[in-house]
Structure 1
């Protein structure tokens, strides 16, 4: 690895690391505010809905991964590749919105979540896909600063509009209305910032097939990481599911915290000589997981107080288990991308 490459990776880790930390931190701030504003029963519904949204969001992550890989290896046809990525994201986004309107009713019945909340939550993912396709283009180009700004636009739009709505309406429906508006704003900003003229007249079959393969693998992983909070909503009482959702929030922090590592190293991990990049990504992710788990072991009560408030401090002794779960799945995600 040349000195210039090392400097580029270091610069990317700084920019993207800061952006993902701040952007994801804003998303967790929304959950922290919701945990204090909503009743435990309503927060349990919100936690289950987030689990559903994260599972389905694998489609947007697959679009981003596919886009980043294809843009990274493209040469003279890069503009066409980027245009196809945006076209694919619109197809996937519209499909999510239409299917979501139909699926919201049975999902709401199964998990005791209002139909409007499920419908608006799923519809928000239709806009997220456009945003992640734009981020994938910046990621493949290795434009780390532009990626970071786009990531912050998505994260801030979702979080701060969501916070405003949950404070105004004090319900899970209010939160999801904020998510819908915020995701739409963030996606448009990302597109205009990164690839305002990207479009393609058609979509190649090989791109659609590769998208299906990536989405399938990610769907399995994200289902495993979220099935527990969905089962908790079914088999525990509504208040108990709310308590469990606070613990799951810590697991999600541990899972998504190393995202910057994958984002920066992914173009290198898809190259011909990818072993070194994979080893670096695995080592950094493992080290971060050990730190988060260790901190949660020694300061679990403090962590639970910060995440959920005083009513959830009894979970402090189990906090490290949630952190360990999220960290383990983060390692699996690195190997999956490799």
Structure 2
């Protein structure tokens, strides 16, 4: 008995939405939404107010290293221990909730410092950064479990919930009141959406786990097993913190060494940098489980580098040839002074996307040496960047440091991958 054409189409559609290709599309939609939020914020708020929002979003990316560290840890552990996914899920989620509370409290205590350092209009936006940190961290553990189990549909739903609500809710908030505080209030409210979706996706799986896991395994998954997860998460977060400090320290520097207007222009140029950086994010997410497996990590890294480099080359060419069109998405005529540097910002985004892939390759191998190179680069950017007085000087300084770091990390990574398992 043959299946009807309708049933066959439904099966094909079901297979499509559960595939990694559908996840890639959803991540790109999320990145476009995030990019859209930045464009809208730049237009509604103007260079003066947008500079503060951009600096807070950069800070939030740095705070999010705990989320990404937890996601990488969960994914690597699930991939590396087949047959124990459900036990790992319980352990990771317990560790995630505890980490979220700690991160939220730390940012709450640090809010007066954030207020002063970023020269915000009031302490209110800094407090909202602390609120954002809690659901952001929770999302990390949830996404890591889904990524490690290659449950692409559930992970796609989480990423869609991360991007679309942010641009919708925050735009509405800024239309009501075009201020830093209103923008961050919208971001904080929208940040709960992916954590709620992640809970809903994992809810049935978790309930089944509690019913099927025996008492001995459940006991082993309790407090004693949380410690290795937290330790690995901290090591991963250290490397990721280095990367995100490197990719965001320039806007914090710009706020302190350049005028409000020029730092706002620089923030506008970074919209393109972030777009190019996050454009190939789906490559990292899909490739990471393969980079965690010893027999496939080298080929996965080579293919991923080729794809990331190709996307970056297209972005650079577009920024060079269509700079006028790109200005529409940067923020319009108010940011015209930065148009001649857009191709440089695109190169910076490409170099950062390569660095991001290399950092995740380091995490997949559980190597720690390369993390220190990132922090050396951060110090170099701070030292050299503090001497700059123009947006052009700052972006070229940052690009030079990042390019040297990428070359060094590429050499170290392939040297280590070329070693035998015994020596590695």
Q: TM-score per shorter chain, which class?
A: over 0.9
Distance 2:159 2:203 in 1: 14
Summarize deviations over 1:218-262 as a string: whole Å, max 9, x none.
Answer: 111111111110011111111221111111111111111111011
Q: Give 1:10 shift.
A: 12
* Counterpart in the other structure of 1:94: 101
Which structure has the greater CA radius of gyration?
2
Q: 2:348 aligns with which of 322, 325, 329?
A: 325
| Residue of structure 1 aligned with 2:55, choices 48, 59, 68 | 48
The question of 1:119 aligning with 2:142 is answered: no
Residues 190-222 of structure 1: per-residue CA shift (max 9 Å, x gap):
221234564864243211111111000111111
Matched, 1:79 2:86: yes
Q: How far is the alpha carbon of 1:122 from its aligned partner?
A: 2.8
2:176 is the counterpart of 1:153? no
Instruction: Tell me how far apart the structure 1 counterparts of residues 178 and 283 of structure 2 sit (CA, whole Å).
Output: 36
Q: Provide the secondary structure at the position in 2 that maps to 1:38.
A: helix
2:23 and 2:114 map into 1 onto residues whose CA distance is: 35
Q: What is the alpha-carbon distance in structure 2 between the residues aligned to residue 21 and residue 247 of structure 1?
A: 20
Q: What are the superposed Cα offsets for residues 10-43 of structure 1, whole Å, 9 maximum, x if unpaired?
A: 9844212211110111111111111111132111
Match of 1:231 among 242, 253, 256: 253
Which residue number corresponds to residue 5 of structure 1? Answer: none
Kept in 2: contact 1:37–1:167 (CA 8 A):
yes
Provide the C-alpha distance between the structure 2 equivalents of 1:209 and 1:31, rounded to a whole number of angstroms: 35
- Pair 196,63 (structure 1): closer, same or farther in 2 beyond 3 Å: farther
1:304 paired with 2:327, answer: yes
1:138 and 2:138 matched? no
| Structure 2 CA distance for aligned equivalents of residues 41 and 160 of structure 1 | 22
CA distance in 2, matches of 1:129, 1:241: 29
Task: Please point out which of 44, 61, 66 is paired with 2:68.
Answer: 61
Which 5+ residue runs of structure 1 have no aligned equivalent? 1-7
Aligned counterpart in structure 1 of residue 312 of structure 2, from 285, 289, 298: 289
User: RMSD of aligned C-alpha atoms?
Assistant: 1.9
Shift of 1:9: 12
Q: Verify the 8 A CA contact 1:108 1:118 in the aligned structure 2.
A: yes
TM-score scaled by length of structure 1 = 0.93
Give the C-alpha shift of residue 189 in structure 1. Answer: 1.6
Q: Which has the higher contact order (CA 8 A, sep 6+)?
A: 1
Is the alpha carbon distance of 1:317 and 1:258 closer, same or farther for their aligned partners in structure 2, counting shifts above 3 Å? same
For each residue in 1:107-132, what CA deviation from the matched residue of structure 2 results, as whole angstroms up to 9, or x when unmatched? 21121113110110232121011122
| TM-score, length of structure 2 as denominator length | 0.75
